Structure 1
């Protein structure tokens, strides 16, 4: 697979081991809109907006869904927005996040779990498990990927605007970031570089290419019908033997 991109991701190094030049991944990060996505009730949020430590350090809680080659992966990003004493933290399991909460509370006398500007409570392990292990993530979402024609995207609750939530409710559509940089979300914890590269390559050359082929075939049939030609013979003259 050949990659055309303005940024480097963690799986790019696999290109050095040889590549299929016929498969092309144009990896430009941009906003796209998922339409007709169905109900989002299966995705249970964690009611936590920020974690404030010592009044001068804050973690902004990003609840992220990573779309990768037909599947969805839940992720929590704790983004440091205070004095930068802490590094960003990324979690893919309830157990790991719960253990980090233990570490924070045991090493800091003052810590607040904030729920949308109000004093909240620390999410329990059970609540975290409902988020990370929800059955909704076990389903196949290939149609989402083919609809926006990309192998990777992210949905981030912090990037949603008021009108985006209205679109979800009224129009059954919402924005995603297409071709997101997976290194920033430490996706190598889920897929190693070789596996990640290989699955993206196969998804583009297989699923997405098949969609393009079908769309082309449908388009050609439409052209034939609109011009009043027979689908079997198209623009060729019908054989006299068949008359």
Structure 2
């Protein structure tokens, strides 16, 4: 007589298991950063139009879509809070930026704010939080790689326009080194997003800006390596790239057949030095 009961229990367990799998899939499909970016884009337009009230509304709404707003967007929010004389929100933003690795010098123009004295006194705590929860060495390595990529790209265009001369080997080796270093970085840490690196403080501008990781990825694609081709959506959902890049990167290619740096650079060398 217990057999039907056992069968019923098995069916219930199976049903619960099925519901759990379905729920997990729903969560897996959730991509808060897509809506986040959309709201931030609207807020940026609001700010440019000097509509600071709506900019504040849309930024606050955007920040509910993720537990880790991006540094450049917090920088924008900080400016909006100042325009709106919202001291409480400004303090919250300042603490978030400080915990993400932004130095005290960034806040020097806010010394007269009601929150600054206590914020300054607590700043070491925020710096300690950054060291404990982020990877400063990854931030340094990423910024160095982006800088080297920018330099290589500039040299390439100088070569293309015959301002300088580079051998085919130098073109291949230069591009390969950047891609190799990026691969080593991502193998060790995963795709570098701000959850890992913290925020990007640009001292000469006293600003917090996006990392130019998107430009780096575009250059790598153009050089014949379609890195993370099948993972772009996941990278977007983790805040690593703007959602626009899901479609943009599908169209980004070099002059070759995207089978690697050597093939790509040989094609380019033939294009720009074929008469020699």
What's the TM-score once normalised by structure 2's chain length? 0.24
What's the TM-score once normalised by structure 1's chain length? 0.26
The structure in which a higher percent of residues are helix is: 2
Relative contact order (alpha carbons < 8 A, sep ≥ 6): 1 or 2 greater?
1
